Amino acid sequence: MLMLTCPCCGLEAAEIELAPGGEAHLKRFGPGSSDAELEGYLFARHAAKGPVLERWRHAYGCGKWFLAARDSVTMEVYGTYAARLPEPPEEVLARIRARHPGWQLPA
């Protein structure tokens, strides 16, 4: 079972206490954007095997949103961090790159 530590309240929570929110750090397109930009936002998502950055909500805890970095194959958790950050903290990136040399943030 996936276990994530909520960075907001500090509690370790099982996946059944959390609500998934999809891919993190997406550039959102809405009114005024081109058809290609909107299509890319709606349908073109990063779905590679390995490290993923995701949004989670501590639904049965503090109720706040946070972000997590984990491996989609092994379920290894590299770290969790506040949802307000524009990218993962350096210590989370270092853990990912230690297991996956050369890994880069998805564009």
42-91 pLDDT tens trace: 887 767 789 999 999 999 999 999 999 999 999 999 999 999 999 999 99
Per the domain annotation, does 107 fall within a domain? no
H or E stretch at 104: none
Per the domain annotation, does 67 fall within a domain? yes
87-100 pLDDT tens trace: 999 999 999 999 99
CATH value at residue 26:
3.30.2270.10
4-19 pLDDT tens trace: 999 999 999 999 999 9
Phi-psi bin for 82: left (phi > 0), alpha (psi -120 to 50), beta?
A: beta
66: containing domain: 18-99
Pairing relation of β-strands 3-5 and 77-82?
Answer: unpaired
- CA 78/CA 75 separation, integer angstroms: 9
Q: Residue 24 has which token pair?
A: 């993190």
What domain count does the chain have? Answer: 1
Q: Is the pTM of this model over 0.75?
A: yes
Which residues are CB-neighbours of 48 under 8 A, at least 6 positions away?
A: 72, 106
